[in-house]
Chain A
Amino acid sequence: NAGVTQTPKFRILKIGQSMTLQCTQDMNHNYMYWYRQDPGMGLKLIYYSVGAGITDKGEVPNGYNVSRSTTEDFPLRLELAAPSQTSVYFCASSYSRDTSYEQYFGPGTRLTVT
């Protein structure tokens, strides 16, 4: 199993541009998450999904959108990129029947908005 994969690894955007961060997992996990990590701030939840077709906002959803058309994929869309969205983005997944709720993380996407 590849686990959770993310593309791209790095990206530089200009203010106002848009992009989609890709996330795929091959563990048949029904829960998927997007976090952003800023220095000294830990990780903050942006959006999550409990299954295909179901998404919900996390702590910091403004400026982002998500969709979940399949179990495997959970892309994160940035519209009108702003410097405040410069961050490292991590996708994660978990299995609802795992009562420990352990989450598995992807390698991250480092995004710079200038």
Chain B
Amino acid sequence: AQSVSQHNHHVILSEAASLELGCNYSYGGTVNLFWYVQYPGQHLQLLLKYFSGDPLVKGIKGFEAEFIKSKFSFNLRKPSVQWSDTAEYFCAVISGGSQGNLIFGKGTKLSVKP
């Protein structure tokens, strides 16, 4: 079965620190990859997505992610975090032919100290 692993359950950073959240998936075929963010008390919002083309994807609010096919990874990065980035981040994958069913990782909670 397909799975998505997010390596960190909770990350605590100070403002202006750099961020990298790890994500690995298990499916070997064609995949579409997503990072969603959930701010406290809110619903999931798309940060960025990869489905073809340039493996370095830029999203909203200064986030980016790099798809490395050989490593089955899609790590999320941001050079300088802000207090407002405090949220839970979810990596998700859809494999080709899966009727668009997203498989989610368990999430990484990010706390940014002002």
Contacts and interface: CB of A to CB of B under 8 A. Distances in A.
Interface of A: 31, 33, 35, 40-45, 48, 50, 56, 58, 90, 92, 94, 96, 99-108
Most buried by B among A48, A92, A103, A105: A103
Contacts of A44: 104
B114 interface: no
Interface of B: 4, 9, 32, 34, 36, 42-46, 49, 51-52, 90, 94, 99-102, 104-107
B107 A42 contact: yes
Contacts of A103: 100, 102
A94 B92 CA distance: 15
Contacts of B104: 35, 42-44
Given A31-B100, A48-B101, A100-B49, A43 B9 contact: no
Contacts, number: 57
B94 A101 contact: yes
B90 A48 contact: no
Given A40-B107, A101-B94, A90 B32 contact: no
B43 A105 contact: yes
A2 to B, nearest CB: 13
8 contacts: A31-B99, A42-B107, A43-B104, A48-B101, A90-B43, A90-B44, A101-B32, A107-B42
Given A42-B4, A45-B101, A99-B51, 10 more contacts: A33-B101, A42-B90, A42-B106, A101-B32, A101-B51, A101-B94, A102-B46, A102-B49, A105-B36, A106-B43
